[in-house]
Every structure is written in structure tokens, then in C-alpha cells.
Chains A and B, each alone.
Chain A
Amino acid sequence: MDTNFVILTFASILAESAPLVFAVIGETLGEKSGVTNLSLDGTILLSAMIGFAVAFTTNNLYLAFLAAMLVGALVASIVAFSSIVLKLDQIAVGFVLTLLCGDLSTFFGNPFVRKPGPAVPHFAIPGLAEIPVVGKIFFDQNIVVYLSVLLIFAAWWWIYKTRPGLKLQGIGERPAAAFARGVNVNAQRFIYTLIGGALVGFGGATYSLFVKLGWSYHHTYGIGWIALAIVIFGGWHPIRGALGAYIFGGLQSVSSFAQSAFTDVPTQVFQTAPFALMIIALLFVSNEALDRFFSGSPVSRKIWNSLRGTPPGALSTVFEQE
């Protein structure tokens, strides 16, 4: 393997993981506020389809991304409404939406299958792109990729550095306490779920307008579930979540190289590998024995907890003001 190949592969992973990053950060924000939006797989499909359809008909990428975000927010609003207002099971609603949005994308996406449409244009950042190695990986991409990287740090900054971010942590951990401090818990949850959904939608459009350009049936099937698992893997932390997305992207690259390296093994086995690894990763982050082991001393417990990440204390629960 020559260095150029390695550099290009890293650049590819960064680019191809961009939609996953949007989805993971979006879901992380929603879950941090206490609402699980399980519909991701369907939302991504539907927003990818709408994004492409709008781009195809209007030739306007801004409109396309906007439409995709609206779709994501709309689906999320159903989840938010049903859990916050109607106090329904978030999982049931999310699951139904997963299937429904998938079918909607097929039904309405029919006229757009395999049509050539506009794509997010490549945009090398002048100057920076010429830096050896780093330039090629980070600055020879397009706006959407830059945004995905910016989003990671913006989300981190928002959650851990700003006052609204502190509130966000609070409403997910202990809504009653946040309420006592003047936070309108349910309104905030609604907003974050919508923003999260919009980001997921943006991720969907990133597929159909860049990473997997165009639209076809079940264009992004399965990726939403991966995103949900990565949120857990990332311990509800945007930077670790993004890392999870990049690791997944890397795994996919490995599986296409592995075909040449392990000629005895059917290719589909490698395609399955990320899912098996997902289980193993979840097993690792939620393992009781490891938990006990590291809880022995306060120091190791602190390290372990920061490594593992704990779910927001009030995740998937309903907040009712007395």
C-alpha cells in the first residue's frame, strides 16, 4: 500500500461518514434531551429521497437540503408529540415510523430512481488543501463534509460550554430539577427532538446528493440502525459518537479490501461484520462485569465512566409537571 492510497482512503472515510455523523449528532442531541427517536432508518430514507427529488426538480441544492431537514424535523415532531404530549411509548411510535417512512420513500421516490441529478460540488479550500497529507484528507472535500466536522465540535461546544447546553444536559438527566430551575422541559425536549430530526434529515440528503449520489430503492437501508447503535457506543457524547461513525466507515473500507485478502471467505460475510461488531461493542459498553471491575476504585470508576458514557438519566421517560 502506498501512502497516497492510505491518504485517499482516510479522505474517503471522512467524506463517506459525513451523513452518519449528521445522523449520530442529531440523535445524540435528541436523546440528551430525553427523547429517543427510533425512526432514524426511515427518516434517513425519506429525507434522502425528498432531498434528491427537490434537487432534481429545482436544481437548487439549498432547497434540497432544506426540504430534507424539514422532512426529518416533521418525522421527529411526530415522535416528540406522541411522547411528550400523548405520553406514548417512544419505541412503538419510532418503530412504526421507521417502516412507514421507508415505504413512503419507495412510493414517492419512484419517478426519481437512477435519475442523474445535481451533486454537492467539490470545494478544495484554497491554500489549506495544499498542505501535505492533512490538506488532502481534511481540506480537499466539499462544504457538506466541512460542515459535518464543524458540527461535531459545534455540538460539543453547545452541550458543554454554553448555558443552553447545560440546560439540555439537565432536562435529559433530571427534568424535575431542570424544571425547578426555570427550564420549560417539554418545550425544550420538543425543540431538540426537532433539531435532531432536522440533522438526521440533513444526513439523509447528504447521502442522495453526495455520498451515494442519486436515488434508488432502499437507498440507505440499515444505516439508521447503525446510527442509533453508534449513539450508544459514543456514550451520548458528540465527539465519541463521531468517532464511532468514522470507525464504522473504516470498517466498511476494510470489508471491501478484505475480499482480495481473504479469497476463501464470501464477500457478504464482511458486509455483515460491522453489525456483528456493533453487538460486540454494545456488549462491551454495557458489560456488568467490566462495570464492577472498574468500580473498584474511584479513579478507575471515573475513567471507566468517562470511557463508557452513561445514558441520560431520564432517557425515554415522560416528564409531567405536578
Chain B
Amino acid sequence: MSEITQKPVFSKKTGFSADLLWTMGPIILALLLTTLALVAIGADPLKAYTTLWNGAFGSPEKLGSVIDAWVPLVFCSVGLLVTFTAGLWNIGIEGQIVMGAIGAAWVARTFDLPAEILIALMFIGGALGGAAWALLAGALKVYGRVHEIFGGLGLNFVAMGVTLYLIIGPWKRAGIASTSGTEPFRPAAWLLNFPGLTVGPVEIILAIISLALIYFALRGTLWGLQLKAIGKNARSAFWLGIPTSRHMLGAFAVCGVFAGLAGAEQASGVWARLIPAISGGYGYLAILVVLLSGFRAPLVPFVAFFFAAVSKGSISLPLDLQVDSALGGVLQGVVVLLFVLSQGVRAKWTQTLSS
């Protein structure tokens, strides 16, 4: 399968206004298309967008829930920056989140410790769980020559199977065996939230640290440069003396760590138990975030925030307008699709201009 096109979003040669045009163009066009979709189902677009906005920013609680979604998106995007740099399509990230949640849940169910230690251990457990699952996809790719898209995808479903097995098997609730989740963890395993909000300081700080860490690691270290070389041409990288297999496995593992952190955060901070589909779809969404960021770490938090706001804001659509909240997903998808297409158009455009 083809290499990932990593064209920079902003080129140095053309001016800022041209960049703005090529960035805003797709967004405006996307809004136009979603407006059309709204008109098509007979909804009032203006009302829909206000509802979307209010759903995301209408109250401190809502802003809190946007940040609640922002955190796992950032974790996953950070991990994906690493695998994308190494030229890998880590679609298996969903399963890695799930395994992170399972790791954290195991810690929470096994140890009776003070909150600080327990939560730290849960994050470590989550990181290990995610990394292990990612390494499995990596090993399938490196040693088994199974393309990471299919290996990862299969493992996503397997991870789901494992969760369900645990929830209705060994970790089932006393008396009841329902797929709705395990017994809630002991309170020491719950992440502390800001008063009245569903999000707390620990996960926000952790997400910001992760982002900064990976930004500098990819930019300023030999490891980052080596990954970049592998991503662009693995054969040449190997020739240069870079241990390609080990680095690819490493990239998977690092991505797994961050996906696992997202999983641990979901298990501890959002659900306080293990549920099926605990990944929340954040892994797939984060792939879109990274694509729309043009693989650039500094843009990730903003794009992630936009995605989080749309995701959370769209929940108000059915409540207020009886419009399906999938509109949010449509908006996100159209924006990314048009952005990717516009990059191609732009490249073609400049090519025609120069020749």
C-alpha cells in the first residue's frame, strides 16, 4: 500500500493569505455541505449550528464535557503522530485503548491502595496494556507481513471480544451478567474531577505533557529523525544503519502507551468501570484529527478541540431539534475529506502554475 502523503500544510514559499485560503476553503465548503444536508432533512441550519454551539459551550459543564473528549483525543493523536511519522497506519489504536482500559481495570480491581498510588498504577497498567496490544499489531506487521490496517483492525475486534468476555465472564457483576459493564471500581480508583464537571486536572495535565513530550521527541531527537526516515523510506533507513524493525515496533509501542493512557483515563475518569466499547471511538476520530493537522503536533490540540466540541455539541441536536447527532460526524468527515482533497488540488494547482 502506498506511503502516507505528508505534505506540509503551510509552505514557506507561498504567502500567508494563500495558506489561509487553502485552509479555510475546505472548512467553509464543508459547512456549506452540512448546511445542505440539514436543509435536505428539513431542519433549520441556523438553529442547528446554534444548538451545536450551545451544546458545546453553553455552560461550564458543557465546556467541561468538551475537554473530557479532548483529553483522549489528544492522547490518541499524540500516539498516532509517532506511528504516522514511522509511516504506519495504526488503525488498531481502538483496540489499544480498550486494552489500556482493561489494564487499568485490572489494577483497580486487584489492588487496594491509596488513591494517588492506585491511580498512578492504573495509568501504568493502561500504558502497558495498550503497548502490549500495539506490539502485537507491530509484530504481525514486522515479522508476519500482515498489513497493519488488517492486523490492527482484526485486533480491535478481538480486544472487544476480550472486554465482553471479561465483563460477562470473570469480571461479571454479582448476581447479574450484563454486557453493560463491570461493577464500578472502588472510589480510590476514580479520577478527581473539578467540582461540578466531568473532567479533572490530572488527565488534562497528562495530555498536555504527552503532547509536549512527543512534539520535542519528534523534532529534536535522533529517535524522531530516525522514525521520519523509516516512514519515508524504510529500505534507505535500514541502509543508513537504523534498526528499522526495532524502531517500527517501538513506534507501535509508544503509540500503544498513549492509547493505553487514553483507555485508563476513560476507565478511571469517565466510566469508573470497564464497559464494552470503552474506546469511545476516540482512536478513529484521532486519525482524522492527525490527518487534519497535517501530521503537525502544534496543530493537534486545536484540531482535537474542534473535534471534541463538534462531538459533544452535536448531542444537543436530538435533544433540541430531533436532528440526528450523526451530523457532527458528517461535519468532521466532510471537513477532513475536503481538506485532504484540497491539498491534492493545491499541489496540482501549483504544479500547473509552475510549468
Contacts and interface: CB of A to CB of B under 8 A. Distances in A.
A165 B207 CA distance: 53
B348 A272 contact: no
A115 to B, nearest CB: 15
Interface stretch (A99-107, A133-141, A149-157, A182-190): A99-107
Contact of B157 (A272, A283, A286): A272
Contact of A99 (B145, B179, B333): B333
* Highest count of chain A CB atoms <10 Å: which of B4, B155, B340, B345: B340
Contact of B153 (A89, A106, A225, A272): A225
B343 interface: yes
Contacts of A107: 37, 41, 324, 326-327, 329-330
Interface string A83-118: 001111111110111011111101110100000000
A87 B345 CA distance: 9
A229 interface: yes
Contacts of A318: 2
A287 B141 CA distance: 11
B154 A266 contact: no
A286 B145 contact: yes
B144 A287 contact: yes
A78 B333 CA distance: 14
B329 A85 contact: no
B2 A91 contact: yes
A252 B172 CA distance: 26
Given A286-B145, A316-B1, A100 B330 contact: yes
Interface residues of A, number: 49
A24 B347 CA distance: 33
A288 interface: yes
Given A99-B329, A103-B333, A266-B164, A88 B341 contact: yes
Q: Interface range on chain B: under 10, 10 to 19, 20 to 34, or 35 or more?
A: 35 or more
A232 B150 contact: yes
A108 B348 CA distance: 34
Interface in A260-287: 266, 268-269, 271-272, 275-276, 278-279, 282-283, 286-287
A96 B4 contact: no
Interface hub of B91, B151, B161 (most chain A Cβ within 10 A): B161
Contacts of A28: none
Given A85-B348, A88-B340, A103 B326 contact: yes
A229 B284 CA distance: 19
B150 A103 contact: no
Nearest to A264: B169
A259 interface: no
Contacts of A99: 284, 288, 329, 332-333
Interface string B157-201: 110110011001100000000010000000000000000000000
Given A102-B329, A232-B150, A266-B165, A92 B340 contact: yes
A263 B324 CA distance: 39
Interface string B313-355: 0000000000010111110111011001101110110000000
A49 to B, nearest CB: 11
Contact of B2 (A90, A232, A278, A283): A90
Given A88-B340, A316-B1, A108 B164 contact: no
A108 B287 contact: no
B146 interface: yes
B40 interface: yes
Contact of B5 (A89, A95, A228): A89
Interface of A: 36, 38, 78, 82, 85-93, 95-97, 99-104, 106-108, 110, 222, 225, 228-229, 232, 266, 268-269, 271-272, 275-276, 278-279, 282-283, 286-288, 315-318
Interface of B: 1-5, 37, 40-41, 89, 91, 140, 144-147, 149-151, 153-158, 160-161, 164-165, 168-169, 179, 284, 287-288, 291, 324, 326-330, 332-334, 336-337, 340-341, 343-345, 347-348
Given A93-B340, A104-B330, A279-B151, 20 more contacts: A85-B348, A86-B344, A89-B4, A93-B337, A95-B287, A96-B291, A97-B337, A99-B284, A99-B332, A100-B333, A106-B324, A106-B326, A110-B324, A225-B153, A229-B153, A266-B169, A268-B160, A268-B179, A269-B161, A269-B164
7 interchain residue pairs of minimum CB distance: A86-B344, A100-B333, A272-B161, A103-B329, A275-B157, A106-B326, A268-B164
